[in-house]
């Protein structure tokens, strides 16, 4: 279990790495989960050094911390840990991946209709509000 201060520091670092604000990151409901994953995958010492580098120029990180920062960014954007044995954290993490928010999309197979919903033909009847309105040329 992480401390509140550690979670706050993790959010600050994550803002720098992802470009998303704290409200968006917290809104995923995954900050604590991702902090736990990062601690397990990077180790407490390496994660602590990365958190300590927050606020400074990220371009000046050593190769070890730069790799850790890349992995953490990958985690936020895809909901999966990239290396050495890649894995998806959860279905919720996949659905909340920042890649979908950045693209203005909903993760495939997570919206109403679910997996395979594209296989059925769309309804042929349009509601009156969706029916095309006649063009001025049609009235001639």
- What is the pTM (predicted TM-score) of this model? 0.77
Cis-peptide, bond into residue 84, ω within 30° of zero: yes
The pLDDT tens digits for 17-62 are 999 999 999 999 999 999 999 999 999 999 999 999 988 888 889 9
Closest residue by Cα to residue 41 from 103, 84, 93: 84
SS3 (DSSP) at 50? helix
Q: What is the pLDDT of residues 70-124, one digit of tens each?
A: 999 999 999 999 988 999 999 999 999 999 999 998 898 887 765 676 677 766 5
């Amino acid at each position: 279990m992480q401390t509140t201060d550690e979670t706050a520091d993790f959010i600050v670092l994550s803002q720098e790495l992802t470009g998303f604000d704290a409200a968006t990151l917290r809104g995923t409901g995954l900050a604590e989960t991702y902090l736990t994953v990062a601690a397990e995958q990077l180790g407490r010492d390496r994660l602590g050094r990365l958190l300590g580098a927050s606020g400074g120029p990220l371009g000046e990180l050593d190769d070890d911390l730069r790799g850790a920062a890349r992995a953490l960014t990958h985690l936020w954007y895809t909901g999966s840990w990239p290396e050495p044995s890649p894995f998806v954290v959860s279905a919720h993490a996949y659905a909340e991946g920042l890649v979908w928010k950045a693209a203005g999309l909903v993760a495939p197979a997570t919206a109403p209709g679910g997996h395979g919903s594209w296989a059925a033909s769309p309804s042929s009847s349009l509601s009156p509000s969706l029916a095309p309105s006649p063009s001025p040329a049609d009235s001639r």
